[in-house]
């Protein structure tokens, strides 16, 4: 009798692997180079003598919308406990680098999964969802068993075809690198209440880390309404946190 291992639901976990060293100095030197006869290297070295000036200058740069110098600083995150449904959305942010766990090379013999809160909240839908996950796991493992027994079928070849039965709920792991400018753009769209719940949770966790590590850049970051002071989504999609754009303009 074949035993099919099965792992339960999993949860989001984000680890900051690395960020640019001397991030404030990098941004300051890059921005100042645009207007200075001095070399960026000299400007960079001078930052040690005026840390408060550097922070104040960068806050002013960010608030003014002059964001190109922010591209010189980047963050790299290890993300796990997320679904394939999430990463399909995530990789649409193209000014970033991704390295994702491959279902072709990594067998999903005991795949974890993510349950949407709306399904988990109801026992009937949760039970049905978990039953589907168990059945998929059994079918996946059975298909691998059959194909691996076939002469001439290598493990990689079996994996790449059997993975077609795996659900979007299957947990995946991914390394994400974004520069500060792209992170600000990412947060504007994915911290919004309209964003899908899972990627919104990811964005909020990443934002929390960025605020802690580089507050001069990220203290005011978040959904686009935070910066605009109004909701640009229209009445149908507005969450109510900020007034609609039309009401703000009408009051002027």
- Domain membership flag for residue 28: no
Q: Which residue has the tokens 């976990």?
A: 13
137: confidence class by pLDDT, cuts 50, 70, 90: very high
3-state secondary structure 23-36: HHHHHHHHHHHCCC
Q: Average pLDDT of 70-85?
A: 98
Task: Summarize pLDDT for 31-44 with one digit per residue, the tens.
Answer: 999 999 999 999 99
Query: What integer best gives the mean pLDDT of the chain?
Result: 92
Instruction: Tell me: pLDDT of 7 over 70.
Output: no
Q: What is the CATH number of the domain that holds 171?
A: 3.30.1360.170
Residue 114: partners with Cβ closer than 8 Å, 6 or more residues away: 9, 10, 81, 82, 83, 85, 86, 169, 171, 198
pLDDT of residue 150: 79
* 194 shares its domain with 106: yes
CB atoms within 10 A of CB 93: 17
Task: Summarize pLDDT for 167-222 with one digit per residue, the tens.
Answer: 999 999 999 999 999 999 999 999 999 999 999 999 999 999 999 999 999 999 99
* 215 shares its domain with 231: no
Domains of the chain: total: 2
* 231 shares its domain with 135: no
8: confidence class by pLDDT, cuts 50, 70, 90: low
* 83 shares its domain with 99: yes
pLDDT of residue 155: 65
Q: Which one of 126, 190, 194, 200 is the catalytic residue?
A: 190
Q: Average pLDDT of 135-142?
A: 96
* 113 shares its domain with 212: yes
- Domain membership flag for residue 47: no
pLDDT of residue 203: 98
Q: Determine the 3-state secondary structure of 112 from DSSP.
A: coil
- Domain membership flag for residue 45: no
139: domain range? 1-20+73-221
Q: Average pLDDT of 98-107?
A: 95
Active-site residue flag, 84: no
The pTM of the full predicted model, rounded to 2 decimals, is 0.91
């Amino acid at each position: 009798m074949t035993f099919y291992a099965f792992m339960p639901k999993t949860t989001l976990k984000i680890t900051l692997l690395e960020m640019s060293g001397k991030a404030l100095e990098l941004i300051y030197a890059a921005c100042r180079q645009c207007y200075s006869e001095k070399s960026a290297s000299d400007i960079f070295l001078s930052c040690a003598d005026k840390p408060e000036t550097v922070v104040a200058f960068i806050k002013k740069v960010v608030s003014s919308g002059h964001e190109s110098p922010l591209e010189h600083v980047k963050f790299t995150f290890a993300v796990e406990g997320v679904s394939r449904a999430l990463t399909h959305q995530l990789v649409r942010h193209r000014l970033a680098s991704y390295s994702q766990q491959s279902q072709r090379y990594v067998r999903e013999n005991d795949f974890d999964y993510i349950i949407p809160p709306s399904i988990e909240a109801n026992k009937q839908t949760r039970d049905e969802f978990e039953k589907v996950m168990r059945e998929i796991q059994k079918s996946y493992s059975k298909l691998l068993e059959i194909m691996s027994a076939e002469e001439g079928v290598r493990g990689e070849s079996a994996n790449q075809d059997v993975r077609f039965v795996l659900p979007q709920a299957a947990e995946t792991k991914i390394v994400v690198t974004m520069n500060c400018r792209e992170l600000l753009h990412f947060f504007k769209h994915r911290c919004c209440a309209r964003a899908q719940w899972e990627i919104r949770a990811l964005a909020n966790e990443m934002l929390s880390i960025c605020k802690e590590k580089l507050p001069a850049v990220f203290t005011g970051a978040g959904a686009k309404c935070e910066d605009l002071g109004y909701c640009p989504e229209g009445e149908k999609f507005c969450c109510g946190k900020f007034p609609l754009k039309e009401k703000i303009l009408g009051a002027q």
